[in-house]
């Protein structure tokens, strides 16, 4: 999978892709991430990419021309499955959406800033708008990192234990059961006996039951899905 991210703050995106699972996916050649500085696509001599909103009001708006040029350039190089704009009023990112998008070959993620982007970009270039939650961020970079991470970890071969990503919360409509590691006892707090029993069948049943209980208690909105 190839992800092209368009941003005016490329530095914000250095950290999330340089450690752990995403880093490994990139070094194995299973994912490619290219971060593009939007300012490289403006013909303005001061590299300006934002302007005052028509009709006034507080806050700047990202201009149409540099964004259009950046997307046109990328589209002239290859075909994209989706051109995504990160937006608080977009579709809420969830696991089924991540599963579907993890099968894509090429995507663009456009990060907004200030008051957002000129609406005409959304109308004429953007094919999907994604929100990572019902709150407002300062820019789309953190959302782009979250979206990319959620997709990349699902690409076959990225996570060592193939079943691991599938046993995560939400994959079967349930949240994960609790997990424990050594020591068996700490400050008198014990690991449930069943997990130490060595009986795989009973352990699997216990885990499933815990998932059901937790989903009911914590995420009733996911129950019976
Ligand atoms: N005025 C806009 C918010 C702009 S916030 C509004 O009220 O909808 C600046 C940028 O941050 C947005 O253009 C968007 O790209 C990004 N952003 C903010 N919150 C986000 C969220 N919850 N999910 C995804 N992107 C978000």
| Residue range 132-179, pLDDT digits in tens | 999 999 999 999 999 999 999 999 999 977 667 878 888 888 999 999
How far is ligand 1, taken at its centre, from the CA of residue 65, in Å? 20
Per CATH, which fold does 172-223 belong to?
Answer: 1.10.1270
Residues of the chain below pLDDT 70: 162-163, 223-225
For residue 224, what pLDDT is reported? Answer: 52
Per CATH, which fold does 2-152 belong to?
Answer: Alpha/beta knot (3.40.1280)
Residue 126 beta carbon below 6 angstroms from any ligand 1 atom: no
To the nearest whole number, what is the mean pLDDT of the chain?
Answer: 95
For residue 172, what pLDDT is reported? Answer: 85
In the chain, CATH 3.40.1280.10 sits at 2-152
Taking the C-alpha atoms of residue 221 and residue 185, their distance in angstroms, rounded to an integer, is 34
Residue 139 beta carbon below 6 angstroms from any ligand 1 atom: yes
Report the DSSP pairing between strands 82-92 and 106-110.
parallel
* CB-count burial class (<10 Å; 0-12, 13-18, 19+) for 101: buried
Q: Which two tokens stand for residue 105?
A: 């070959």
In the chain, CATH 1.10.1270.20 sits at 172-223
For residue 223, what pLDDT is reported? Answer: 55
Question: Model confidence over 187-197: pLDDT tens digits?
Answer: 999 999 999 99
Residue 135 beta carbon below 6 angstroms from any ligand 1 atom: yes
Fill in the DSSP letter of residue 111: P
CB-based contact 183:190 (threshold 8 Å)? no
For residue 162, what pLDDT is reported? Answer: 60
């Amino acid at each position: 999978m190839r992800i092209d991210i368009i941003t005016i703050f490329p530095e914000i995106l250095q950290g999330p892709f340089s450690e752990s699972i995403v880093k490994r996916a990139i070094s194995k050649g299973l994912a490619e991430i290219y971060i593009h500085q939007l300012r490289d696509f403006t013909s303005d001599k001061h590299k300006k990419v934002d302007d005052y909103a028509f009709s006034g009001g507080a806050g700047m708006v990202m201009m149409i021309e540099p964004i259009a040029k950046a997307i046109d350039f990328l589209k002239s190089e290859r075909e994209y499955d989706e051109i995504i704009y990160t937006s608080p009023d977009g579709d809420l990112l969830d696991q089924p959406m991540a599963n579907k998008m993890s099968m894509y070959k090429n995507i663009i993620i456009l990060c907004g800033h200030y008051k957002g982007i000129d609406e005409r970009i959304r109308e004429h270039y953007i094919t999907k708008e994604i929100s990572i939650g019902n709150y407002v961020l300062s820019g789309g970079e953190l959302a782009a990192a979250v979206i990319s991470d959620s997709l990349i970890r699902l690409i076959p071969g990225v996570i060592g234990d193939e079943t691991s990503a599938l046993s995560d919360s939400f994959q079967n409509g349930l949240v994960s059961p609790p997990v424990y590691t050594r020591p068996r006892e700490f400050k008198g707090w014990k690991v449930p006996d069943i997990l130490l029993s060595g009986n795989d069948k009973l352990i699997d049943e216990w885990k499933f039951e815990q998932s059901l209980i937790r989903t009911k208690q914590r995420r009733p909105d996911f129950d019976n899905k």
